[in-house]
Amino acid sequence: MDSLPAWQVDAGRFVFAELDGDRTLCLKAERHGKDHVNHFLVALDPLARRDAMALCYLDPEQPLFPADGFSLAFVAASGDPQVGDVLETEAGLWLKLRDAASSQRLYCFVNLADGRIKPRLDRHRHQKLEWKLQRI
């Protein structure tokens, strides 16, 4: 598939992007403000450490390559959710990440269905899930 500028790719899609010179499978995410949208990537593969997963700011014009044939598989886990874990809540599945370096918050949560970023989920009941990337 041909590349598209980031602003034309829907949040929540798997994409390939060049990160630090490597072709990386990512999830496209967006943070909506009052009158603007910030675009981000969440690197999924290759991934050196899950506990270091963070939002990566994305120039709206950066070329992305939509990637089909990938999904995430989940299994219940115990313990407190850490960076890189998925939380299942009544509102969906959320990936806990370190927020972007420019943010004043330490953590954020990305909805895996629609790619929307929320600053917190602390008051929601949740189940911690482990995840793995799979080809379908």
Asked if residue 77 and residue 44 are part of one domain, the reply reads: no
Q: What is the mean pLDDT of residues 46-75?
A: 93
pLDDT band at 47 (very low <50, low <70, confident <90, very high): confident
Instruction: Please tell me whether residues 122 and 79 are part of one structural domain.
Output: yes
Q: Give the separation between CA 120 and CA 23, rounded to whole angstroms.
A: 30
Residue with tokens 């690197």: 43
Judge if 43 and 95 occupy the same domain.
Answer: no
- Whether residue 79 sits in one domain with residue 41: no
- What is the CATH classification number for the domain harbouring 11? 2.30.30
Supply the range of the domain harboring residue 89.
Answer: 70-135
Q: Are residues 40 and 83 in the same domain?
A: no
Q: How many angstroms separate the CA atoms of 100 and 79, rounded?
A: 25
Of 66, 94, 111, which one is at a domain's C-terminal end? 66
The reply to whether 57 and 84 lie within a common domain is no
Residue 79 shares a structural domain with residue 60: no
Q: Please tell me the predicted confidence (pLDDT) of residue 132.
A: 95
Whole-structure pTM value:
0.90
Q: What is the pLDDT of residues 58-69, one digit of tens each?
A: 999 999 999 999
On whether both 113 and 83 belong to a single domain, the answer is yes
Task: Tell me which of 104 and 87 has the higher pLDDT.
Answer: 87
In Å, what is the CA distance from 99 to each residue of 63, 72, 75, 117?
22, 21, 25, 10
Strands (DSSP E) along the chain, which ranges? 4-5, 14-19, 22-32, 37-45, 56-58, 63-66, 70-76, 86-89, 92-98, 107-111, 117-118, 127-135
Residue 5 has pLDDT above 80, yes or no: yes
Closest CA to 128 of 72, 49, 90, 74: 74
Tell me: do 46 and 96 sit in the same domain: no
Torsion of CA 101, 64, 114, 96, to 10 degrees: -30
**Based on the structure, what is the number of domains in the chain?**
2
88-115: average pLDDT: 90
pLDDT at residue 116 greater than cutoff 90: yes
Share of the chain above pLDDT 70, in %: 97
pLDDT at residue 90, as a whole number: 87
Q: Does residue 121 or residue 96 have the better pLDDT?
A: 96
> 125 vs 115, which has greater pLDDT?
115
